[in-house]
Amino acid sequence: MGEQGLSSYFQFNNVNWPNVWNAAWETLWMTVLSVVIVAILGILLGLLLYQTDGSKNIAVKILNWIVGFFVNVFRSIPFIILIVLLLPVTQVIVGAITGAKAAIPSLVVSAAPFYARLVQIAFNDVDSGVIEAAYSMGASSWQVVWKVLIPESLPALVSGITVTAISLIGYTAMAGAIGAGGLGQLAYTDGFQSYNNAITLAATVVIVIIVFAFQYLGDLVTKKVDKR
């Protein structure tokens, strides 16, 4: 047990650096893997919401309502509760309820609906005149999605996934507190529970660096693809 004054933050000789790097690596791949899955699922869900919105067909209307309902429900559940709620589901899908892998299902379930809404907004912002022009040239609905909707909303899709990725990093830390590994768990068990504030600070700094890196990368790509 170390000293608990302010100076405790700087007792870096108490920090096991290889552990920090391992935890950072776990956080990073948890985040990247869930971002990839969230991006794919979110675009599909967002597309579904966009395409079914405003339809006059009653079946399509019901589909839109159901998808919208689930998106709103999962967006509303606080992440720490969602993780616990999904434990049995995680057990079935992953075969475990602890470890970085076990965090993925709840990370995806919480972030995909959020990103789906951002995708829907991005698609709604695409100039309807351009879409009409594409149809007037004989484009099929899929061609409009691939060649107009996605390219024309790309800056918004990229900045949306950046925001989502950053909140996912926050979620991984929360998941870490109940056994998912990564910097969250490091800060919680090796830092808080072991009265080792230097580890908590180290974990914080590394997480901030990861967040900044994602933000920088996201901004860079957004700028690169935006030709407006």
Partner 1 sequence: MIELKDISKTFQTKEGEVKAVNNVNLTVNSGEVYGIVGFSGAGKSTLVRMLNGLEMPTSGEVLIDGTRIDTLSGEKLRDQRKKIGMIFQHFNLLWSRTVLENIMFPMELSGISKAERVKKAQNLADLVGLGDRVHSYPAQLSGGQKQRVGIARALANDPDILISDEATSALDPQTTDEVLDLLEHINQQMNLTIIIITHEMHVIRRLADSVAVMEDGKLIEKGPVSTVFTDPQEELTKRFVNSEVDKSQTPDIKQITADLIKKYPQGKIVSLKFHGDQVKLPIVTEMIREFPNVTMSILEGSIHQIGDRQSAIGTLFVQLLGEPKDIEGALDFLNKMRVETKVINNG
What residues line the site for partner 1 (CB under 8 A)? 127, 129-130, 132-140, 143, 147-148, 151-152, 154, 225, 227-228
CB of 165 to partner 1, least distance (A): 22
CB of 147 to partner 1, least distance (A): 7
Q: The tokens of 138 are what?
A: 């004989």
Closer residue to partner 1, CB minimum distance, 211 or 225? 225
CB of 220 to partner 1, least distance (A): 17
Residue 49 CA: distances (Å) to CA of 53, 72, 116, 163, 185: 6, 12, 8, 20, 36
CA distance 85 to 159: 30
Of 169, 163, 148, the C-alpha closest to 222 is 163
CA distance 116 to 32: 18
Closer residue to partner 1, CB minimum distance, 160 or 184? 160
Closer residue to partner 1, CB minimum distance, 106 or 153? 153
Q: 3-class SS at 113?
A: helix
Closer residue to partner 1, CB minimum distance, 152 or 190? 152
Residue 15 CA: distances (Å) to CA of 125, 155, 197: 49, 41, 9
CB of 4 to partner 1, least distance (A): 56
CB of 47 to partner 1, least distance (A): 18
Q: The tokens of 108 are what?
A: 């995806």
Please state the length of the chain. 228
Closer residue to partner 1, CB minimum distance, 72 or 141? 141
